[in-house]
Structure 1
Amino acid sequence: MAIDWLLLITLVWLQTKHFVADYVLQPAWIIDGKGDLRKPGGYVHAAIHAAATMPILWLSMPYLTWTVAVVTGEFLIHFLIDHLKAVYGRRHPCPMNARSFWMLHGGDQLAHHLTYSTILTVVAWQSYFNV
């Protein structure tokens, strides 16, 4: 039963963190920098996500090695998802009221939340087996 609460609380914190990092802490220079490997925006955005995930996982997993590994993976995956979305969005621009815009946005958010499902799987595995 305790692992259920651990996973639920971890998920709530990850989703809250995701909202703040994706919608509150994105000035124009970060948004504009995504999709261009020469600009810092995408790197900074992924680093914000990773940095905010770190304390959440410190509370969920007692082993620093696992936390660092998961946070590093999140940084890389988050950067890649956003980079691909930005490149595609620039090649296929569409207005915000178009169905294709919302499909791309929703697909991006789904990919991020599936990343959180993977993180929760690691937390559950690590918690259950204490490895």
Structure 2
Amino acid sequence: MTAPIGTLLILLCLLQIKHMFADYFLQTPRMLSGRGQYLHLGRAEHAGVHALGSVIAFLLVGAPLPFIVVIVILEWILHFHIDFWKARQCDQKQLDPFKPAFWRASGVDQALHQFTYVAMIWAWAEFAV
């Protein structure tokens, strides 16, 4: 395996670990309540936790600081809006974990986050390596 491929796989793992902690271990009650409002401080903080985790991941693989700043700002914007979409779906359709549509919305939400990581890794390989 070449060094860039190995580093790419490490970066992918770092982003997955970051995602697990940010989405499942580090959410506060403020991050989880009232998410259907567009201007929601908790969702902004949650997206910030993701962005901070990505800063750490990209620093660990030696990405240049200007690249990191741009990529995490873009990630913050995307994460904020992906989560807003899911919250609006759940609010408008009154979805809860006992309804199959809740899990479809959650699946789309998680897939969009994963596609974001694919794009971030592509950008890293294209512009930062």
Could you say which residue in structure 2 is the equivalent of 1:49?
50
TM-score (norm 1): 0.91
Contact 1:96 1:102 survives alignment (8 Å): yes
Could you say which residue in structure 2 is the equivalent of 1:23?
24
The amino acid that maps onto 1:79 is: F
Identity of aligned residues (%): 32
**Secondary structure of the corresponding residue to residue 70 of structure 2:** helix
**Secondary structure of the corresponding residue to residue 122 of structure 1:** helix
Q: Kindly report which structure 2 residues correspond to 1:119-130, keeping only aligned pairs within 5 A, or say none.
A: 119-128=120-129
| 17-26 or 89-98: bigger deviation | 89-98
Number of paired residues? 128
Runs (4+) of structure 1 exceeding 2 A deviation are 59-62
Stretches of structure 1 lacking an aligned partner (at least 5 in a row): none
| 52-61 or 80-89: bigger deviation | 52-61
Stretches of structure 2 lacking an aligned partner (at least 5 in a row): none
Contact 1:30 1:41 survives alignment (8 Å): yes
The amino acid that maps onto 1:16 is: I
For residue 126 of structure 1, report the CA deviation from its aligned partner. 2.4
Root mean square deviation, CA, Å: 1.4
- For 2:7 and 2:113, locate their aligned partners in 1 and report how far apart those are by CA, in whole Å: 20
